[in-house]
Structure 1
Amino acid sequence: MASKRSCGLATVAALLIGYFNCARAGTVDFDAATVADLNQAFKAGTLTSEQLVQHCLARVEAYDRQGPKINAVIMLNPKALETARALDAERKSKGPRSPLHGVPVLLKDNFDTFDMPTTGGSVLLENWIPPDDAFVVKKLRDAGAIILGKLNLSEFASGTAHSSLGGQTLNPHDLMRTPSGSSSGTGAAIAAAYAPIGLGTDTGGSIRGPSSANGIVGLKPTHGLMSRDGIIPLALSFDTGGPMARSVYDVAVALGVMTGIDSADPATQKSKGKFATDYTRFLKADALKGARIGIARDFLGADPDVDWVMESALESMRKAGATIVDVSFPKWLIDSKPEFYAAVRRPEFAAQISQYLAATGPAYPKNIQELIERSNDVRSLRPGGAGPNPIRWNLFKKEAESGKLDDYRYLSVRDHALPMVRAVVEGILAAEKLDAIVYPTSSRRPPLIAEAPPSPDSASAVDIANLTGFPDLIVPAGFTTDDLPVGISFFGPAFSEPKLFALGYSFEQATRVRRLPVNTPQLENQSVTVP
């Protein structure tokens, strides 16, 4: 295995060789270049995939390994440049496979990869290499995407933005603040422009919290729209993967590549006849005109700066032609949702992690009890930075004690409470004839790392999307007075991704508030020449 510390494949100096010297064309800052921009540059010959990978590796070297040491990357793919060169040759001889041909993608390290370890960020799975790719990872490779590397996360996708193998990930906007979890590495890496696209997973807000905290776009898709095969499970009733990027366009183009029915994941049958393979066709700059948008004011009031950004966002929507309607969720739902979530999430992990661990070799733990036992043997930091993770490992014990999947406490919530929550949300949307409900993705600005809670913000609405299985699109909305990003969620009914993309894109084009974090600025000569 190429280690976290030894796998720096490029230096900044390696990039400063003859980039994009086309004086007759315009240039776009690297962090602002969309996949559409990259494809124009590829077509014009002002950019190659090899050069693009070198750009990404230079930023990892400058900001993850050195400088602020964001610590988002667990490992880089040692064959990334070789793959890029092969895809450049294929583009010349056969043309591109898809819009993602030659585009680097970073993966949260709970997606299986046949050629790199998949650890869940845990020393307990260190060096484990799965026999094949996760379904969506294979779809990406088949589309010509380059898997650039694996990213740090909250260990086993739960707890704070810290793992026993990868350590603490920092927020590139403020190194003292949390990047949120559990897709912490993806949020920080994409914000810092380590790659155009990243994958996260979301069980209780784990794509959306990091998207908001790091000031990027992210999608928690409808449950069943993306296969979970080959993803380390946290709770399959809620689990989903999802794309994260710096623009709505890039999230849309990535999603279209990864949808499809997977015989290994029965949940994808729900998407039959409902998924698209090109979501970019739904992007409309004027989609807010005539739209009816509900504002969930139940989730305002926790942070005056966040509230101000939300009110400003609503005013932007009104100016774009939208009608804004105040909506409220029942108090019993707001009060009960954390308990509903825990009643399903904890026992499912205890049962389902053993199914995943069964495929690992004899050196690895095989169930929740063995995870607990082996965690007790890790008592101090290692020279490379790996070490104990008490917050996550103590949660193992709570998961082990949470009951079986035939327990009435679990079944009553899964079979009765979750359908009830879905009915409430569908009722609100229908009664007010809403195209979407919006709310602050995180009700408060990103907290200091030392003060970060081990679970999602209970004052936020993010877990309602998991309890219902409905989609939630996060778009940057603005910044607080201390220059921290605030995200807005566009939440809708099942398989409403086309509508959410249209609304989110319209809002993004009207506001354009995303920016490169202050701790990971543009590197010299990093721009893309677009004809």
Structure 2
Amino acid sequence: MIKHLLCALALSWTVAASCQAQTVDLDKATIAQLRAAMDAGQLTSERLVRLSLARMDAYDDKGPQINAVITRNPRALAEARALDAELKAKGRRSPLHGIPVVLKDNFDTADLATTGGSIFLEGSIPPDDAFLVKKLREAGAVILAKVNLSEFASGGAYSSLGGQTRNPHDLLRSPLGSSGGTGAAIAAGYAPLGLGTDTGGSVRWPAAANGIVGLRPTHGLLSRDGIIPLSLSFDTAGPLARNVSDVAVALGLLAGVDPADPATAKSQGRAQTDYTPYLKADALKGVRIGVARDFMGQDAEFDWVMEASIAVMKAAGATIVDVRLPRWLIESKGEFYSAVRMSEFPVQLQAYLATLKPGYPRTLDEMIERSYRLPAPRPDGAGPNATRWSLLRREQASVALTDPAYTAVRDQALPLVVAALDGVFTANRLDAIIYPPLAERPELISRTGGTRAATPGGGASSGTNLASLSGFPELVVPAGFTTDQLPVGLSFIGRAFDEGKILGIGYAFEQATQARRQPVHTPPLKGEALSIGARKP
């Protein structure tokens, strides 16, 4: 009898232990953990949306005034409640069912204004959702808000409509552009997932500056239909999140062919519906990593984080190879980028403007003319964006798409860049190339107005336009901090459609370093500790 009693007690203790919930801070919870808690009835989409809105209330307009949000979705709570009811009645649509998402305000949303951050498009309701927004809604995601950006996705983290966004790690510094609102919002915990766009570095810079994960996917893996264009030869959407696994979840749901975007034909048979199987803690073992030291040497503390990251990868079983990129590529990449991007914007923007309702400008010339009517801020704070509006005149004066100065770069130089980078991968038998996407601290807002990212393609000191020119994928993962507590990111470049490989490598690096930290200016709020993993009795 005593033996049976002891067995019964042991069984009861085992059952009790297995029923205990794991307490996870909202800031550290992955989408997979949130999803499991929802499926188990321990969390609702409505509660998650309320927690997100509470962080916006506390940190965006008040408190540190991050100023990342342009427009909130007034129906977000109602949509969350409907998705909770659907989950109970029918089950979940996807891993994103009931998950809040923020969108850079250059993604078309048929129920919310899409402005590009510009007064010129204030209040513009596009005819329908962007292709990726449709996919998010079909997956059951809750579109929580449209967030600030560099106006028309070029320049610093400032727009005439949204003003200046601040870095939640250091309020005196920029979160960088052009997806600065998305980067700051994710770092500040407004949502687990955000979408940005990247032409010359606009997902990767904010990811690095805000201490989060960001992916510029292979050109053509994600549709650009319904996104305000900057330069379609380089433009791509890209997910930002607090961890690699959330980026992988989003990518699998968004990737694929869209007949409305011819570039996505390249992804036929190469896009995958689930990238999470690549996420293995030992994915660094046996891989060969090339180090592009051409972009180091600008800040000793950033270089130290790079060397520490290399040591971590070696310890995890990776082979490290120093690579030198061709000198002509380093010297010419900025000029190649500018030659294409500056000429494409006026023409491609005009095609987008033609889809809008009457009353909005139809050409770049008309926008420039309207800019001269607003020499001072309005009472609500919206006002001139002199740096970006001056750039409009440079874009206006760029050569036509039939000019040899454009066509020679598009048709000859860009394939040459692809061949050169492929050659580096092949010659060194590399799985990825690493470098610092930012090699020095983000600029002080007071010193430059947050405009450094206006430099076409990031300038000679940045390597981000390598992926832009080649169309190769690039993943940014938090790697460490400076002594003044600013995040340092690490980039992993892969070959075309090697997203699974670089996500796996990035995940293994993330698990080994655990380098991300919640920003000091957006700490936990009351009620954000979540019980995850408890079983119903």
TM-score calculated relative to the size of structure 2: 0.94
- Provide the secondary structure at the position in 2 that maps to 1:206: coil
SS at match of 2:214: strand
Matched residue type, 1:176: L
Shift of 1:528: 1.6
- Any idea what the Cα deviations from partners look like across 1:67-91, whole Å, max 9, x if unmatched? 0000000010000000000000000
Deviation of residue 383 (structure 1)?
2.1
Aligned-residue sequence identity (percent) comes to: 62
Separation of aligned partners in 1, 2:256 and 2:412: 29
Specify the code of the residue in structure 2 equivalent to 1:152.
N
- The letter of the residue matching 2:97 is H
Aligned equivalent of 2:401, options 385, 399, 405: 405
How far is the alpha carbon of 1:379 from its aligned partner? 1.2
Note if 1:481 corresponds to 2:483: yes
Q: Distance in 2 between matches of 1:409 and 1:110?
A: 29
Tell me the distance in 1 between the aligned counterparts of 2:19 and 2:428: 53
AA at the equivalent of 2:398: S
Q: Distance in 1 between matches of 2:346 and 2:299?
A: 35
1:376: how far off? 1.1
The answer for the alignment partner of 2:74 in structure 1 is 78
Q: Which stretches in structure 1 are left out of the alignment for 5+ residues? A: 1-21
Cα distance in 2, alignment partners of residues 384 and 35 from structure 1: 37
Select the residue among 435, 441, 453 that pairs with 1:439. 435
Displacement of 1:94 in angstroms is 0.3
Whether the aligned pair in 2 keeps the contact of 1:154 and 1:183 (CA below 8 Å) is yes
Moved over 3 A (4+): none
Provide the C-alpha distance between the structure 2 equivalents of 1:253 and 1:436, rounded to a whole number of angstroms. 21
Matched residue SS, 1:218: strand
Secondary structure of the structure 1 residue equivalent to 2:60: helix
**What is the identity, as a one-letter code, of the residue corresponding to 1:39?**
R
Question: Over aligned residues, Cα RMSD in angstroms?
Answer: 1.0
Instruction: Please name the residue that 1:28 is paired with.
Output: 24
1:369-384 equivalent positions in 2, closer than 5 A: 369-384=365-380
For the pair 1:243 / 2:239, whether they are aligned, the reply is yes
Q: How far did residue 65 of structure 1 move?
A: 1.3
Superposition pairs for residues 300-339 of structure 1, below 5 Å? 300-339=296-335
Report the Cα distance in structure 2 between the residues aligned to 1:351 and 1:523, rounded to whole angstroms. 46
Match of 2:271 in 1: 275
Gaps of 5+ in 2: 1-17
Aligned residue for 1:105, secondary structure, equals strand
Paired letter, 2:507: Y
Residue 205 (str. 1) matches residue 201 (str. 2):
yes
Give secondary structure in 2 for the equivalent of 1:487. Answer: strand
Q: Which of 413, 417, 420 is 1:421 aligned to?
A: 417
Deviations 1:163-188 (A, max 9, x none): 00000000000001110000000000
Matching residue within 492, 512, 515 for 2:514: 512
Aligned residue identity for 2:134 = K
The answer to whether the aligner puts 1:104 opposite 2:100 as a matched pair is: yes
Structure 1 equivalent of residue 342 of structure 2: 346
Cα distance between partner residues in 2 of 1:373 and 1:330: 43
What corresponds to 2:364 in structure 1?
368
Partner Cα separation in structure 2 for residue 423 and residue 214 of structure 1? 33
State the match for 1:52 in structure 2: 48
Deviation string, structure 1 residues 180-209 (Cα, Å, up to 9, x no partner): 000000000000000000000000000000
1:219 maps to which of 197, 212, 215? 215
2:64 alignment partner in structure 1 = 68
Aligned-partner SS, 1:65: coil
Q: Secondary structure in 2 aligned to 1:75?
A: strand
Partner of 1:529: 531
- Aligned match of 1:460: 462
Q: Secondary structure at the match of 2:258?
A: coil
Q: In 2, Cα distance between the equivalents of 1:23 and 1:286?
A: 30
Q: Secondary structure of the residue that 1:264 maps to in structure 2?
A: coil
Q: Distance in 1 between matches of 2:520 and 2:337?
A: 36
Q: CA deviation at 1:23?
A: 9.0
Q: 2:37 aligns with which of 25, 41, 45?
A: 41
**Displacement, 1:135?**
0.3
Code of the residue aligned with 2:488 in structure 1: it is: V
Partner residue of 2:294 out of 292, 295, 298:
298
- Give 1:26's aligned amino acid: Q
**Which amino acid in structure 2 is aligned with residue 417 of structure 1?**
A
Equivalent AA in structure 1 for residue 164 of structure 2: Q
Instruction: Figure out how many residues of one structure are paired with residues of the other and give that number.
Output: 510
Q: Is the contact made by 1:443 and 1:457 (CA closer than 8 Å) also made in structure 2?
A: no
Cα distance in 1, alignment partners of residues 19 and 487 from structure 2: 35
| Residue number among 117, 120, 123 corresponding to 1:124 in the alignment | 120
Q: How many Å separate the matches in 2 of 1:382 and 1:172?
A: 26
Partner SS for 1:150: strand
Check whether the contact 2:458–2:465 (CA below 8 A) recurs between aligned residues: no
User: 2: distance between equivalents of 1:131 and 1:360?
Assistant: 7
Structure 1 match to 2:260: 264
Determine if contact 1:442/1:457 at 8 Å carries over to the other structure.
no
Matched AA of 1:147 = I
Query: 1:6 maps to what in 2?
Result: none
1:471 equivalent in structure 2: 473
Task: Kindly indicate whether residue 512 of structure 2 is the aligned counterpart of residue 493 of structure 1.
Answer: no
The aligned residue for residue 135 of structure 1 is 131
Larger-gyration structure (1/2): 2
Q: Determine if contact 2:122/2:161 at 8 Å carries over to the other structure.
A: yes
8 Å CA contact retained: 1:54, 1:81: yes
SS in 2 for 1:70: coil
Residue-by-residue CA offset, 1:86-113 (whole Å, 9 max, x unaligned): 0000000000000000000000000000
Task: Name 1:88's counterpart in structure 2.
Answer: 84
Shift of 1:24: 2.5
Whole-angstrom distance in 2 between the partners of 1:525 and 1:160: 35
Partner of 1:430: helix, strand, or coil? helix
* TM-score, with structure 1 as normaliser: 0.95
Cα deviations by residue, 1:360-402 (Å, 9 ceiling, x for unpaired) = 1221110111111111111111122210001000110000111
- The residue number in structure 1 matching 2:4 is none
